[in-house]
Structures are given as structure tokens and as C-alpha cells.
Chains A and B, each alone.
Chain A
Amino acid sequence: MADPVLRAAGLTRTYRHEARDRTALRDASIEVGRGDWVAVTGPSGSGKSTLLHLLGGLDRPDRGEVWLAGHRLDNRSESGRALLRRRHVGFVFQFLSLVPTMTVLGNVELPLVLQGVGHRDARRRAREVLDELGVADTADTVPTALSGGEQQRVALARAVVHRPDLLLADEPTGALDSTAAGVVLDLLRRRHADGQSIVLVTHDHRVAAAADRVVTMLDGRIADERKLAEPAGEPTYAHLLDLDG
């Protein structure tokens, strides 16, 4: 991996809460190659979201470095990180990923407009992506009128509309029922098949298993990192049914 999209080394982050320090993340390192899909999983409070926020520059580590698409991220100011973010990163959160005061189309255009893409061009590309994700008909409504699944699809559209180097998703299916979650997961699979690099945080192992690599976090540390193989052949479950008896 000569040119990783993301490289983070030795990340440590301590929060001070009511005069007590709580270390949310200790000495975490991770590398994401171009086209990789990494899932970060672990019980709640294990530091998954903290790691994701540091990787996306939403927060700064107390120690350690983050390099995003060849740029050092952790030593920049809030605004400096925002500028890198708008070019290289797309974010999807568990819920409320959308700006409630803008239409769906306005939300999806946002990253393009922030990059200085012209209104007409931005509008066209936003519509294309919405169409691709199957939510083109919602373009002129406000996010609050949409179901949770539709909102997440729009959020995904906004996260990928500017073709970011890295898609960061924080429990993107966490607030959805299994059907809507399946749709979102399928969309992620499709983007990944098209070469999108993804870091996905989830406490759901089944969602995590969709990734190429699964990082398990426990108590603020990376406890395990496993590469998964493509499914080999046709599995059978005769042993589960025990039909020979």
C-alpha cells in the first residue's frame, strides 16, 4: 500500500468530564488503503466514534498523527481541518445527518457548493447521485418529511456526491429497521465495488462483516484486526438441521 488514503498512528484522546479524565482512545493506529473497506466494531463506549471523529478531523487527538490523502490533519486548526474535510471526506451519521432547514437537494449540493462548484453543475450532479441511490423523488422535500431509511440514503448521497477519497460512516444503520438497514448496506457495497474507500463504525457485527477488514475495539484500544476473505463456495446448513438423525 504505497499511497494509503488514511494513516493514523498512536492516537490518544482523553476527555475531561466534571474534573475527571476519561481516556476514550489509547494509542490507536490504523491504515486505510485506496478502495479498502474497514469496519470498526466493539461494545458501546469502546472508543469507536472517537476514533472516527479523529480520522475525519472533527476532533483533535491529544497524541498521535492523522494523515488524510497525503495531508497531515491533526495539527491543523478547526477551519483548516474543515477545508481538508470538504475535499476529501464524506460523513454519514447514525441519524440527523441532514440539515433540517434545507431541501434534500440543498443538502446534497452542499459539499459541491462549498467546493465552489457552480449552482447549475452542483444541482445536476446532486440529482444524479440521488437518482443513483433511488431517492430522486425526494429532492424537493425537507428531510424531516422522509423516513429514517430515506434520510440515510440522502445522507449517503451527500457524503459521496463530491467523490471524496474517504467515506466515514458512524453507525449508518443504527437507527434503521432491518429492511432499511439492508438497503443502506447494499448501497455501501455498491459504492465499495466502484472503488470507494470506506471506514464504517458499527456495533452490529453483521454489518461489520460486510467490510474487508474488521477492527475490534475494547476499552479504547484496538483489540483485534481481521481481514475477511471473499465467501468461498456455496455454504450448506445440513449440520444445523441435523437431518441425518
Chain B
Amino acid sequence: MKHVVLGLLATGPAHGYELRRRYDDLFADAGVEVNIGQIYVTLGRLERDGLVSHTTESGGDRRDRKVYRLTEDGAAELRDWVTRPSDTPLVKPDVLLRLVTARLAAVLLPDVDPTAVITDHRQRCLQALRDLDRQAARTSGTSVGGLLVQATALHLQAELRWLEACQRQLAEIELTTSGNGGHDG
């Protein structure tokens, strides 16, 4: 969150509510919401670390507001973060682990069908895709939200395709595991 706030401040000094407005412009149609408390908590931490500073502005008839801006350290930290490599999107092998475990536990849990692990996951993915399309109807293709929807949809499609491969090779997976128990062990 802190780098997002730093980024939002990079376009110019702002008070808390202005920052939230900037945030909503970018992310609201992706359904990612933020409350003003989160913003102020983050600003507090950033100020503590010397990355932002604030001045107080008179609000005329209203009460005074703190206007935040980036410090030099803040700008350096922002540069440092942006140029650092992003995470590689490695898949969490969650389904696969469950699938393998279900195989291993076949004797212990005879009522668990390994295929159901796949098909249930497919259902969730399909449902997620369906929901996502509802979401996509409200994003424009060029917004940050649109890009986010696209990324999600493509990941889900990849997952579904992989599930097809899983299902086709299920028999071989079973062979391999039973083989481990049979010899060499």
C-alpha cells in the first residue's frame, strides 16, 4: 500500500481525501476499495520513516487540513521500488497438492474422489470467470481495472486449460504414485 500512496503523491502534494479520490479514479472500477483510515495510517507510517512531510493549510471557514508531499528520501524510495524486479507469477500448486494427497489418502478416505478435486476447482474457476465477465462489463478496456480483469481472466483460463491436462493425465499420476510404494522404496 505504501508505494501506491507514494505514487499517488508523486503527481503532486495532496491532503488525505484528495489521495483517496486519486485512488478511486484508478482502482474503483476493479472493485478494489480503500477507506480513508487506511490512507491516514499509511501516511503516518511514511512520515515516521521520513518519506513524506506535511504542512498545515488553513481551510478558511472549515478546519485546517494537512497537505502531504514527497520528501527527497520518499522520491528515492519510490525510484528504488519501481526499478526493483516484479514478482515472478509462480503458480501456487494448491490443487495439485490436494490431488496428490487425495491419491495418497485413497485407502484412508475411500469416499474422496480425486477427480472431484479437479472438477470442483473447475467449477470455481468457471464461476469466477462468469463473475469476472459481469465485472468486465463495467470496466473499460483501457482502464487499470480493465487490465486487472484481463489478467485475472487469462490466469483463470490458463488454470482451466491446465485442469484439462490434469484430468487427462490423472491415470498416469495414479500409476506413478502406486509405483513409488511398490518398489525401490
Residue numbers of A with Cβ under 8 A of B are 42-43, 179, 204-206, 208-210, 214, 216, 218-219, 223-224, 226, 228-229, 231-232, 234-238, 240-241, 243-245
Contact = CB atoms under 8 A, between A and B. Distances in A.
B130 A226 contact: no
Contacts, number: 78
Contacts of A42: 164
A226 B126 contact: yes
Given A43-B164, A224-B119, A240-B148, A235 B131 contact: yes
A189 B84 CA distance: 44
Contacts of A234: 31
B133 A226 contact: no
B129 A209 contact: yes
A218 B130 contact: no
Contacts of B108: none
Main secondary structure of the interface of A (DSSP, over half): loop
Interface stretch (B71-79, B96-104, B149-157): B149-157
Given A228-B130, A234-B31, A236-B33, 12 more contacts: A205-B161, A206-B129, A206-B133, A206-B156, A209-B130, A218-B168, A219-B168, A226-B122, A231-B131, A235-B135, A237-B31, A240-B32
Residue from B1, B31, B123, B164 having most chain A Cβ neighbours under 10 A: B164
Residue from A205, A234, A244 having most chain B Cβ neighbours under 10 A: A205
Interface in B131-148: 131-135, 141, 148
Interface in B150-178: 152-153, 156-157, 160-161, 164, 167-168
29 contacts: A43-B164, A205-B125, A205-B156, A205-B160, A206-B156, A209-B126, A209-B127, A209-B129, A210-B133, A216-B122, A216-B164, A216-B167, A218-B168, A223-B167, A226-B123, A226-B126, A228-B123, A228-B126, A228-B127, A232-B131, A234-B31, A235-B132, A235-B135, A237-B31, A237-B32, A237-B152, A238-B32, A240-B152, A241-B148
